[in-house]
Structure 1
Amino acid sequence: MQCHLLLLVFSLGILVKYSQADCNICSSESNVACVSENQYQNCTANAIPTGTVYTCPNNTYCSAMPEKCTANEAFASCNDCKKCDGVVPFACTSPTTFALCNAVNEITSYEFSCLTGEVCLSQIGNPCVASVNGTGASCSYYAVVDDLCTQKASTGRYPHPNDSSCLKYVYCFRKGSSWSGNIWQCPSSKPYFNATTSSCVATKPATCA
């Protein structure tokens, strides 16, 4: 009986881990990427999140499971931001910043920034890793995007604040009484976003990595 119980607990742990997708990473099961706890984007054939940001219905959570959204918070993805787990000595505080954790698993007040082209990933020992097409950070990009659009307070296209490769851009728009934004991928024929012209171009701008 005890052996069966231990097996059940172990199996549940595997299921939870399997069902929790990394933030901004495409799931092979659902072909979407969770971009916040309750939002997701469809993925391209190259496993890049792109296009419209969809919201899970009825207070459900985005997960790596085939049905995309679940009512079980234990399976929620994109929820590692600003959390100290007692194992890794730091916590990501945004897509490109992190802070150390103290002895009682609280985040310290001083933040460190990753290098250009890197993102913070909380699941490994080194907080900053090279970004792949602007994806892979433990924290949601959309808090950063909405902050950008609130600052701009104008409809239009702007450089993605966390994509130094210039493969993506942010389209800002007014949503009710507030500003919001979507992240878009430039097409393969014109893969780079030019901040000066606010358009996708074929030649990489000198300011891009």
Structure 2
Amino acid sequence: MSPNRICLPLSLFSLLLLLGCLVSSTRGTCNVCNTVNNLTCYSSTQMQACQADVLSTATPTSCPSGYVCVSGSSGVLCQPEGQDASDCQECNKCDESQTFACTGTQSFALCLGTDTVQDSSGTCASGYVCNINDTQICGLPADGVMPTCSYADDTTTTSTSSTTSSTTASPPSTSDASTYCAAVQSQGRYAVGYNAYTTCRQYIYCTLVSGSWVGETYTCPGDLYFDSASQMCVASMPSTCSTTATTTSTTTAAPTTSNPAAYCQAMQSAGYYPVGTDASTTCHQYIYCFLNGGTWNGNAYTCPGSLYYNSASKTCVDTLPSTCSATVASLTLNGVELD
């Protein structure tokens, strides 16, 4: 018996802690059934009875105070905190490729080539769970893919997630110029909408007067259109204008991937960003965002040939990125829904 190992006299944990005296050195992962004793770490301080490759529904059991759940070569054990790193600690951590991080058992976020989880929200397809080591982000428990995050964390992060989604800034309405300018907080001329016949000919001019933002709506003369890139009225219809836009969709500069300027306004950062998750279409595309005269602008590009855009490396690659998978149900970035 190792002199550093402590075995508790509690009947519920006596067998587990006796096994712990044999020393377990191989670290496991959350929700993965350890066949040595048919237990899994349900959270960093809880364990659960299980069967291999089957999502357990058994009632979790907590470790004694000061102990954490560790899965290793001796099975799933409760061990003194600080002696071994507990399992279920990879939630909200970017994967090795810095592509994504699991944020819940069925949710994930993009990392965009960094070690930091971005303002992003993705959901797995029905029945799929997020696993940080899965090449397609989400997998099926029946195929042996278990969620990286703990189900216990899902219950504690639900309120946080709902708060985040409810507080995500919506594009300010252009129906009232001064209200719009107060939201934008920047002097300049801004497009009102994207209807080629109406709002695409208009713009709002924002100025700061005595510490207060004031806005006025103007209409370009004749048949001219307002171009947000040059901030001038021009004869050629800008690419952001749509001849099929509806009245309701043009009252707000909706940030969508088909509207690069509004997309980049939502990103608020220069760089290259993904367009979507469809392997046959949007996975080949990307948007370059840049600041021009105090206004965010964007250009949409398509990777050459059959290459795909990789959001982590920010390059066009010949390998299908993990974000381009049928296992992904939805994905948003800074409030913009990726197609």
TM-score by length of 2: 0.35
Equivalent pairs, count: 133
Is the alpha carbon distance of 1:113 and 1:48 closer, same or farther for their aligned partners in structure 2, counting shifts above 3 Å? Answer: closer
Within a 5 Å distance, the mapping from 1:1-209 to structure 2 comes to 16=25, 18=26, 20-44=27-51, 49-65=56-72, 66=75, 68-71=77-80, 72=82, 74-132=84-142, 136-145=146-155
User: 1 CA distance for matches of 2:76 and 2:123?
Assistant: 35
SS state at 1:132 partner: helix
CA positional deviation for 1:67: 5.8
Partner Cα distance (1:105, 1:98) in 2: 14
| 1:72-124 CA-partner distances (Å, limit 9, x unpaired) | 46431111100124434210000111111144400001111111111101013
Post-superposition offset of 1:63? 1.3
| 5+ long unaligned stretches in structure 1 | 1-14, 149-209
Alignment check: 8 A CA contact 2:97 2:113 kept: no
Shift of 1:56: 1.2
Q: Percent identity?
A: 29
Any idea what SS the aligned residue of 1:143 has? Answer: helix
Distance 1:90 1:53, change over 3 A: same
Cα distance, 1:44 vs structure 2: 4.9
Structure 2 counterpart SS, 1:40: strand
Aligned to 1:105, what secondary structure does the other structure show?
coil
Higher deviation after alignment, 58-67 or 98-107: 58-67
- Kindly indicate whether the alpha-carbon contact (under 8 Å) linking 1:41 and 1:54 is maintained by their aligned counterparts in 2: yes
Structure 1 or 2, whichever has the larger Rg, is: 2
What's the offset of the Cα at 1:145? 4.3
C-alpha distance after superposition, 1:30-89 (max 9, x if no partner): 321111111111225886534321111132211113361122464311111001244342
Aligned amino acid, residue 31 of structure 1:
N
Post-superposition, which runs of at least 4 consecutive aligned residues in structure 1 deviate over 2 A? Answer: 43-52, 71-75, 85-88, 131-135, 143-148
